[in-house]
Amino acid sequence: MSVGRITVKGDSPYDVVIGAGVLGELPGLLGEGVRTVAVVHPSTLPEISRPVCEALTKAGYDVVELPVPDGEQAKSVEVAAGLWSAFGRYGVTRSDAVVGVGGGATTDLAGFVAGTWLRGIKVVLVPTTLLAMVDAAVGGKNGIDTPEGKNLVGTFLPPAGVLCDLATLPSMPRADYVAGLAEIIKGGFIADPTILMLIEDDPDAATRPEGEHTRELIERKIQVKADVVGADLREAGLREILNYGHTLAHAIERHEHYLMRHGEAVAIGMMYAAELSRLAGRADLVERTRSILTSVGLPTAYRADAWPELREHMRLDKKNRGAKQRFVVLDDLAKPGRLEDPAEELLAAAYKEIAR
């Protein structure tokens, strides 16, 4: 399989390398002058970090392995502080680097600790899940969670590079892979309708890493994100469209104590955003949204009795400005817009449409 490259432009441009068996590209992404590489990876999955560490050792780097908890549990102040202490013990300097290997939670954490150690050192991300490849590892936005919400503490630090080795995808549990499709589908609705057509053409193939259009779907979604973050790294305006479906999704994740898969929450959140768009007199893409999500096995509804608590969680959304709530909606397919300070009755009515 050939090696693909998508460049994320901006003040600090970098490449996202895509292909199967592409670990040989890693030293090139680290660049010159790096001596010590701290490899952050999930402690429960040493097999995903082993090939990365071997490739780095073979290339002559001093490799320090730093295992962290798996999943969202890694994104805490306590885990971050433990990594900072380890950087100090192992003498990680400004000319050294962090490599984050794993799913989106691990790459978020790795980017955050790299961005805060010595006010920012080089980081290369090696996402090993579909969700991390198409979303979390691309964009330079890194964060950890607090009891009050998800990703409320974070940094903006573009990585030196991102390495998406598609050979890691077949080992993913099917449910995790399907959950990753939610972010791909989001990209179709906000920017690239060809993504939706490819999934509608063969939903079953879309749910398999070896599917006919898998690589194209991944590359298209990465390109969507690259175009957006290259123009707006710090979420001053355009980048907000990437939060389509995420206002409710993050509230659901907090309600579920972060035990629900991110992609499943995003799927429900997109369903809510579609209903909100329709009820606000914007685009009516409700049925197409429901059809695509259900065709690949993603959820489209959530508990009716959860609304009061979800509504409170939504008040901490990062897009809010002062007391005003802002929602990303669709004015048409691939034409996202914003709905500012909608009436409480409208928000509740949209939720009623997806409640079970």
User: Angle 137-138-142 (CA atoms, 0-180°, nearest 5)?
Assistant: 60
Residues annotated in the binding site for Zn(2+), as ranges? 183, 246, 262
Distance between CA atoms of residues 310 and 19, nearest Å = 39
What is the Cα 338 distance to its own chain's centre?
21
Q: What is the pLDDT of residues 221-244, one digit of tens each?
A: 999 999 999 887 777 788 899 999
Sequence-ordered strand ranges (E) for 170-257 = none
Active site residues: 119, 141, 183, 225, 235, 239, 243, 246, 250, 262
Catalogue all structural domains in the chain, each as residue range(s) with its CATH number. 4-171 (3.40.50.1970), 174-354 (1.20.1090.10)
pLDDT at 319: 59
Nearest to 80 by CA among 143, 6, 11, 1: 143
Distance between CA atoms of residues 342 and 146, nearest Å = 27
Quickly count: other Cβ atoms within 10 Å of residue 167's Cβ: 15
* Paired tokens of 97: 């680097």
* Paired tokens of 248: 């409710």
Distance between CA atoms of residues 332 and 330, nearest Å = 5
For 271-286, letters b (16+ CB in 10 Å) and e give: bbbbbbbbbbebbebb
Distance between CA atoms of residues 287 and 55, nearest Å = 47
Nearest to 247 by CA among 311, 158, 301: 311
Radius of gyration of the chain (CA): 20
Stretches where the chain sits below pLDDT 50 are: none
Distance between CA atoms of residues 136 and 278, nearest Å = 29
Residues annotated in the binding site for NAD(+), as ranges? 70-75, 104-108, 128-129, 141, 150
Distance between CA atoms of residues 33 and 334, nearest Å = 43
Strand-pairing partners, residue 330, are 336
* Paired tokens of 137: 């590892």
Sequence-ordered strand ranges (E) for the chain = 4-8, 14-19, 36-42, 62-68, 97-102, 122-127, 141-146, 149-156, 161-165, 326-332, 335-340
pLDDT at 152: 86
pLDDT at 149: 80
* Paired tokens of 183: 């972010």
Distance between CA atoms of residues 249 and 295, nearest Å = 20
Residues annotated in the binding site, as ranges? 70-75, 104-108, 128-129, 141, 150, 183, 246, 262
pLDDT at 323: 65
pLDDT at 241: 93
pLDDT at 2: 87
